[in-house]
């Protein structure tokens, strides 16, 4: 089947007046871009990219898709998605297959796999070969701008909803403030819930080692992005200095970045982002590459695409998500997210 049409829809959102914050930035939201493409003018596949910040990003991304990538996708063979992915990487190499360009490739790649799944009437994980039908999930419960009582309330809800693991932001100006927040959450969730900490690239290597020793004494489960994402030497130093696993990858691009980090023993847990990695094609490659290095895979962000990927990965350990809303299609049972069964990347049959 050939791809005959591709439409791009931009949704701009009004920035939140009280945005969530991590140690690096505020995230007021700025909208999303949805790619819808059609095979033989019939079956539609959908791919989404949403933005936590930068007001002009959705329009800039849509322009890359419309003016640069779309001509390569129209007329391509739906059965040759990897060939199309390579063609998009090759075309954009001149100005860099990274940043917004990689997010545009990810949106198209997601829409292509979704379309193929719908044509075959099967979830994508079944096209790729499933390894399991449920994945442990954790709830992100503590942004830096939340006060302790709000964090306690969210922790209570996460436990009630069946989560067996939670994550909080750290990276306050002092270690004492980080310790206070970790102890607050431990007190709220009890001794049996796993607790991960994430500093969003905000520390120096020396400070990350100092705080990492404290977090491992406090029995935190992983230490996420303590230092700038591209500091491969710093990450190698951290993995050797600390017993607590070092998780990173949400700000790395393509399997090549991950291969460098794996080769240099610069991470313990890979955490690729669907948008920055370059779509499901790349996430699968990164997942199996990590498995060959005997490193676990945890998602950055949740959703049906990451769940379809993780259903295929023997080394998948955690899906990231937030609290479940009243209409959330995600089901969490005994701490595990149930893998969707609908065609493509849709939730249910």
Nearby residues of 201 by Cβ (< 8 Å), 6 or more positions away: 23, 24, 225, 226, 227, 228, 229, 251
| Closer Cβ to Mg ion, 198 or 285, answer by number | 198
To Mg ion, the closest distance from the beta carbon of 319 in angstroms equals 14
246-248 and 31-39 beta bridge pairing: unpaired
Nearby residues of 65 by Cβ (< 8 Å), 6 or more positions away: 6, 8, 33, 35, 104, 107, 108
To Mg ion, the closest distance from the beta carbon of 53 in angstroms equals 14
231 contacts 205 by C-beta, under 8 angstroms: yes
Nearby residues of 202 by Cβ (< 8 Å), 6 or more positions away: 22, 23, 24, 171, 226
Contact region with Mg ion (CB under 5 A), list: 130-138, 195-203, 261-269, 310-318: 195-203
Site for Mg ion in 63-122 (CB under 5 A): none
Q: Which of 67, 167, 169, 263 is catalytic?
A: 169
* Torsion sign over Cα 78, 274, 165, 288: positive
Distance CA 312, CA 113 (A): 15
To Mg ion, the closest distance from the beta carbon of 266 in angstroms equals 16
To Mg ion, the closest distance from the beta carbon of 200 in angstroms equals 6
At residue 213, what are phi and psi to the nearest 5 degrees? Answer: -60, -40
Which residue number places its CB atom closest to Mg ion?
Answer: 198
The residue within the footprint of Mg ion, chosen from 198, 231, 257, 273 (CB under 5 A), is: 198
Q: Is 285 a binder of Mg ion (CB under 5 A)?
A: no
260 contacts 289 by C-beta, under 8 angstroms: no
| Closer Cβ to Mg ion, 85 or 300, answer by number | 300
The answer to whether 300 is a known catalytic residue is yes
| Closer Cβ to Mg ion, 109 or 198, answer by number | 198
To Mg ion, the closest distance from the beta carbon of 63 in angstroms equals 28
Chain residues binding Mg ion by CB under 5 A are: 198
Active site residues: 169, 300
């Amino acid at each position: 089947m050939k791809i005959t049409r591709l439409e791009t829809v931009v949704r701009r959102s009004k920035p939140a007046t009280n945005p969530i914050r991590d140690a690096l930035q505020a995230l007021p939201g700025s909208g999303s871009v949805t790619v819808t493409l059609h095979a033989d003018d019939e079956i539609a596949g959908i791919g989404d990219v949403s933005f936590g910040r930068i007001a002009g990003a959705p329009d800039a991304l849509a322009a890359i898709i419309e003016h640069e990538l779309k001509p390569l996708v129209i007329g391509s063979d739906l059965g040759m998605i990897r060939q199309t992915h390579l063609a998009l990487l090759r075309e954009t190499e001149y100005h860099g297959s990274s940043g917004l360009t990689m997010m545009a490739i990810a949106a198209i790649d997601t829409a292509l796999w979704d379309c193929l799944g719908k044509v075959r009437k099967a979830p994508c994980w079944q096209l790729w070969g499933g390894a399991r039908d449920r994945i442990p999930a954790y709830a992100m419960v503590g942004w830096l701008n939340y006060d302790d009582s709000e964090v306690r309330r969210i922790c209570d809800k996460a436990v009630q909803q069946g989560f067996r693991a939670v994550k909080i932001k750290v990276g306050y100006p002092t270690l004492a403030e980080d310790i206070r927040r970790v102890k607050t959450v431990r007190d709220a969730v009890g001794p049996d819930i796993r607790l991960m900490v994430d500093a969003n690239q905000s520390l120096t290597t020396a400070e990350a080692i100092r705080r990492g020793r404290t977090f491992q004494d406090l029995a935190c489960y992983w230490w996420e992005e303590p230092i700038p994402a591209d500091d491969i030497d710093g990450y190698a130093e951290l993995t050797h200095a600390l017993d607590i696993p070092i998780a990173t990858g949400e700000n790395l691009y393509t399997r090549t970045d991950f291969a460098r980090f794996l080769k240099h023993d610069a991470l313990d847990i890979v955490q690729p982002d669907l948008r920055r990695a370059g779509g499901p094609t790349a996430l699968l490659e990164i997942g199996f590459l990590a498995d060959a290095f005997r490193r676990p895979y945890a998602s950055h962000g949740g959703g049906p695409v990451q769940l379809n990927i993780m259903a295929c990965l023997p080394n998948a350990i955690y899906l990231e998500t937030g609290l479940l809303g009243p209409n959330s299609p995600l089901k969490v049972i005994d701490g595990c997210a149930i893998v969707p069964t609908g065609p493509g990347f849709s939730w249910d049959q």
